[in-house]
Amino acid sequence: MAKNILIIEDDEFLRGLINKKLTSEGFNIISAVDGEEGIKKTKEQKPDLILLDLVLPNIDGFEVLAKVKADPNVSSVPVIILSNLSQKEDISKGIKLGAVDYIIKAQFTPEEIAEKIKKIIK
């Protein structure tokens, strides 16, 4: 059965690129363009994994992560942060809040992102 991946990313081009790659790898993709929609879709759909951008309109990714991890119904969903924020403090904060991995966008290809997802939800 195909795994559901929720991509919370406001950059349409990047979201499309990752969506295309993950779909070709057999995943079902759910998309959200901001933090509020991401939280709503997490609660409604209980995805198998969340790919989360940090710089989002309305609610930022750190707040999304904190809210997901605080909700017992979805707190077990693994979250991979996918961000351009590459400061050590941001990475530490993301991991402390419960992310299973932190990917700096500029340093990874969609193929590498797909490989990381497969390792986490095999």
The tokens 């998309």 sit on which residue? 31
Using CA atoms, how far apart are residues 1 and 58, in angstroms rounded to an integer? 34
φ and ψ at residue 80, rounded to 5 degrees: -105, 125
Angle at 19 between CA 60 and CA 96, to 5 degrees: 35
Share of the chain above pLDDT 70, in %: 100
pLDDT digit string, tens, across residues 60-77? 999 999 999 999 999 999
